């Protein structure tokens, strides 16, 4: 439920969503965007509704619960008339707000609302931001004329939600001050899509990210992803020095370095490596808080590179293989990971504007996980955007895409089922690759089917207060591994993980 920019938010910080209270239901897009991309567990989301045109026939206000009625200015409607107008709309809009409260309660986000009337909305927003520990201000589309004034008087991040999937991001001044002298083009409008963050073994040679409340990865800052020149990469990697090499994997040389005082990884592909183009096409089309996206790219006649944030994260596989780290990933945390990666796959399958994308290699070693943060799906080397596929001989494009979609989704659903087993057992599927021994599915699935979940659940976690969450994951794993060829969608699987419906394998 949060933008990557929210990675560094601390519990107790506030996200203010400012909305024109006179507008219709459509303006809840700002709140929806804030809950999907910014707010995280332990944060407070304050919906600030402002009445500026009281008494007009079309005026209405959806947010009524916990409302705070502010004094009116001169020449405005009297308090009794205002209260009557609010009361008239209360029942009409009650149903609109309730789903947000339920969503926030489930995700441990505190949702508050406040009504103010007769005030200058821009000044009211600034005053509210200065009165609490505000990290983000989200404005609905009707407040675009106020964004410049508000941004000039606050020190936090600001976003103007222009439409369902389009926002203008204005980063905190702290971040702007950290920018280096390297020039880059500015992109005001970032496409941000729905569902709707760091601990590895740190390399001491790399300076950690800035310790500010508003720090967030480069990939989510205004102007990124962007193109880089070869000379910029040489500066970032110290001339592609041997000391900067992190690893070489599948003919991809990985360097570490810094850009704008932020650690980055530079993945250098060999010439004509189609994986570079595939990843660039896919990652330039997606925006999701649980996807490790690119910071930028560079291609010349002799080299091709992709840049990623280096967030000092370990993969989930590494965390599970370390007893001390695994013990810190509680059952609730593992359930959250399952929900986050499941929502990420649903986004790729069902919500991408440019068409269905399949990952084709979901596993714990391809999920980045920081203790206490959110999981991020990485390694899109095998991923495919079916919009880019070509039909085979004697096949129509539609038929070809349907076949590939069915096959690709089935693979992702099956892999997600194995991923759930990894979360439940605390063991990586890679540990079961000996052809002479049973694999993770052969070992764990029969026990779950027989109701002996206790025989396979991670023994390092002894807390039983979240047994229902383990049960939800187990039921979803059964659904994925039994029925992946039956056209099961990630929406269906995710509903089981969340406990919204029971799994019916083979139905």
Question: Does one domain contain both 71 and 150?
Answer: yes
**Do residue 396 and residue 276 come from a single domain?**
no
Per-residue pLDDT, 339: 96
Across the range 412-441, mean pLDDT stands at 90
Number of domains in the chain: 3
pLDDT confidence of 148, banded at 50, 70, 90? confident
CA nearest neighbour of 367 among 193, 197, 196? 197
Would residue 209 count as lying in a domain?
no
Top-ranked range on mean pLDDT: pick from 13-27, 187-201, 336-350, 475-489: 336-350
Q: When comparing pLDDT for 60 and 230, which is higher?
A: 230
- Confidence category of residue 491, pLDDT binned at 50, 70, 90: very high
Phi and psi (nearest 5°) for 467?
-60, -35
**Pair (14, 122) in one structural domain:** yes
pLDDT for position 314? 80
Longest dimension (CA), the chain: 84
For strands 367-369 and 252-259, give the pairing. unpaired
Domain co-membership, 127 together with 111 = yes
* Residue 404 maps to a domain: yes
Q: Is residue 198 part of a domain?
A: no
The pLDDT of residue 74 is 44
Name beta bridge partners: 159: 138, 169
Mean per-residue pLDDT for 139-149? Answer: 86
Write the CA distances from 107 to 11, 32, 42, 356, 416, integer angstroms: 13, 14, 9, 27, 22
* Same domain, yes or no: 131 and 26: yes
Residue-wise pLDDT tens digits, 83-116: 666 665 555 555 666 778 888 888 888 888 777 6
pLDDT on residue 207: 33
Concatenated DSSP letters for 76-128?
A: SPPHHHHHHHHHHHHHHHHHHHHHHHHHHHHTT-EEEEEEEESS-HHHHHHHH
Rounded to an integer, what distance in angstroms lies between the CA atom of residue 268 and that of residue 233? 10
Residue with tokens 């056209």: 487
| Higher pLDDT among residues 152 and 278, named by residue | 278
Task: Please tell me the predicted confidence (pLDDT) of residue 312.
Answer: 66
pLDDT band at 175 (very low <50, low <70, confident <90, very high): very low
Stretch 56-68: mean pLDDT: 38
Asked whether residue 337 falls in the same domain as residue 297, the answer is no
Region 173-194: mean pLDDT is 38
Q: Which of 185-199, 359-373, 379-393 has the lowest mean pLDDT?
A: 185-199
Asked whether the predicted pLDDT for residue 287 surpasses 80, the reply is yes
Which pLDDT does position 363 carry in this prediction?
A: 96
- 343 with 484, same domain: the answer is yes
Assess if residue 94 is contained within a domain: yes
Same domain assignment for residues 259 and 350: no
Asked if residue 178 belongs to a domain, the reply is no
pLDDT, position 151:
84
Average pLDDT of the chain is 77
Q: Where are the alpha helices (DSSP H) in 237-312?
A: 274-283
Find the domain containing 96 and state its range. 4-170
Specify the higher pLDDT residue, 496 or 407: 496
Residue 80 burial (C-beta neighbours within 10 Å; 0-12, 13-18, 19+):
exposed
Can you give the pLDDT at residue 194?
36
Residue 24 in this model has a pLDDT that exceeds 60:
no
The secondary structure of 48-74, three-state, reads: EEEECCCCCCCCCCCCCCCCCCCCCCC
CATH number for the domain that contains residue 278: 3.30.200.20
Would the pTM count as exceeding 0.75?
no
pLDDT for position 389: 53
Task: Please give the average per-residue pLDDT across 300-310, as a whole number.
Answer: 92
What confidence score (pLDDT) does residue 104 get? Answer: 87
The residue out of 278, 309, 340 marking a domain boundary is 309
pLDDT in the model for residue 164: 64
Q: Is the pLDDT of residue 50 over 80?
A: no
pLDDT of residue 94: 57
Instruction: Tell me whether residue 211 is in a domain.
Output: no
Is beta strand 294-299 parallel, antiparallel or unpaired with respect to 226-227? Answer: parallel
266 and 362 assigned to the same domain: no
Same domain, 247 and 328: no
Within-domain flag for 187: no
Question: For residue 486, is pLDDT > 90?
Answer: no
Of 95-104, 371-380, 401-410, 412-421, which one has max mean pLDDT?
A: 412-421
Domain boundary among 309, 338, 358: 309
pLDDT at 256: 93
pLDDT band at residue 279 using 50, 70 and 90 as cut-offs: very high
Mean pLDDT within 26-40: 79
Mean local confidence (pLDDT), 183-191 = 34
Residue 218 has pLDDT above 90, yes or no: no
Would you state the pLDDT for residue 51? 65
Confidence of residue 276 (pLDDT cuts 50, 70, 90): very high
Give the pLDDT band of residue 117 (cuts 50, 70, 90). Answer: low
Same domain for 291 and 377? Answer: no
Report for 212-216, 492-496, 498-502: range of highest mean pLDDT: 492-496
Q: What is the pLDDT of residue 458?
A: 97
Mark which of 276, 309, 342 sits at the end of a domain.
Answer: 309
C-alpha dist (Å) from residue 504 to 301, 490, 492: 54, 14, 10
β-sheet with 14-20: strand ranges across = 110-117, 44-51, 14-20, 134-139, 157-161, 166-170, 189-191
- Give a yes or no: residue 191 inside a domain: no
Question: Strand 294-299 relative to strand 110-117: parallel, antiparallel, unpaired?
Answer: unpaired
Q: Return the CA Rg of the chain.
A: 24
Report the CATH number at residue 358. 1.10.510.10
pLDDT of residue 93: 54
Among the residue ranges 42-46, 186-190, 329-333, the one predicted with the least confidence is 186-190
CA distance 78 to 92: 22
The string of pLDDT tens digits covering residues 342-372 is 999 999 999 988 889 999 999 999 999 876 6
Average pLDDT over residues 297-324: 89
**Quick one: 383 and 468 in the same domain?**
yes
Say whether pLDDT at 341 is over 80: yes
Q: Read off the pLDDT of each residue in 158-185 and give the average, rounded to a whole number.
A: 59
């Amino acid at each position: 439920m949060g933008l990557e920019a929210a990675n560094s938010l601390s519990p107790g910080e506030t996200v203010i969503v400012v909305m024109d209270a006179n507008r219709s239901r459509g303006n809840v897009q700002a709140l929806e965007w804030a809950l999907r991309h910014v707010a995280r567990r332990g944060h407070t989301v304050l919906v600030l509704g402002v009445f500026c045109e009281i008494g007009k026939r079309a005026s209405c206000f959806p947010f009524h619960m916990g409302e705070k009625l502010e004094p009116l200015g001169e020449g405005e409607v009297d308090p009794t008339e205002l209260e009557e107008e609010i009361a008239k709309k209360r029942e009409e809009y009650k149903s609109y707000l309730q789903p947000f409260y339920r969503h926030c309660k489930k995700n441990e986000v505190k949702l508050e609302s406040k009504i103010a009337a007769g005030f200058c909305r821009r000044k009211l927003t600034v005053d509210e931001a200065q009165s609490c520990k505000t990290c983000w201000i989200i404005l609905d589309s009707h407040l675009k004329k106020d964004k410049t004034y508000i941004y000039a008087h606050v020190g936090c991040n600001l976003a103007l939600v222009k439409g369902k999937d389009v926002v203008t991001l204005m980063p905190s001044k702290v971040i702007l001050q950290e920018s280096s002298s390297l020039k880059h083009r500015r992109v005001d409008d970032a496409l941000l899509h729905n569902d709707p963050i760091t601990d590895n073994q740190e390399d001491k040679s790399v300076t950690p990210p800035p310790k500010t409340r508003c720090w967030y990865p480069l990939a989510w800052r205004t102007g990124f992803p962007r193109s880089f020149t070869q000379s910029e990469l040489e500066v970032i990697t110290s001339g592609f020095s041997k000391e900067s090499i992190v690893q070489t994997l599948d003919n991809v040389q990985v360097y570490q370095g810094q850009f704008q005082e932020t650690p980055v990884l530079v993945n250098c592909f060999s010439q004509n490596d189609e994986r570079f183009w595939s990843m660039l096409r896919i990652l330039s089309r997606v925006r999701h808080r649980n996807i490790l996206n690119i910071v930028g790219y560079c291609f010349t006649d002799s080299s091709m590179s992709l840049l990623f944030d280096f967030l000092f994260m370990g993969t989930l596989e590494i965390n599970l293989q370390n007893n001390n780290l695994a013990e810190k990933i509680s059952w609730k945390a593992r359930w959250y990971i399952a929900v986050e990666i499941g929502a990420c796959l649903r986004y790729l399958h069902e919500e991408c504007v440019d068409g269905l994308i399949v990952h084709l290699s979901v596993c714990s070693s391809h999920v980045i996980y920081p203790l206490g943060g959110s999981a991020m799906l990485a390694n899109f080397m095998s991923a495919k955007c079916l919009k880019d596929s070509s039909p085979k001989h004697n096949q129509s494009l539609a038929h070809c895409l349907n076949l590939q979609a069915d096959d690709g989704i089935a693979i992702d659903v099956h892999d997600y089922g194995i991923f759930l087993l990894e979360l439940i057992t605390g063991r990586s599927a890679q540990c079961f690759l000996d052809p002479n021994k049973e694999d993770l599915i052969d070992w764990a699935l029969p026990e779950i089917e027989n109701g002996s979940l206790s025989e396979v659940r991670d023994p390092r976690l002894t807390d039983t207060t979240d047994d229902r969450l383990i049960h939800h994951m187990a039921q979803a794993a059964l659904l994925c591994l039994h029925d992946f060829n039956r056209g099961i969608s990630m929406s269906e699987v995710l509903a089981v993980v969340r406990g919204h419906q029971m799994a019916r394998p083979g139905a």
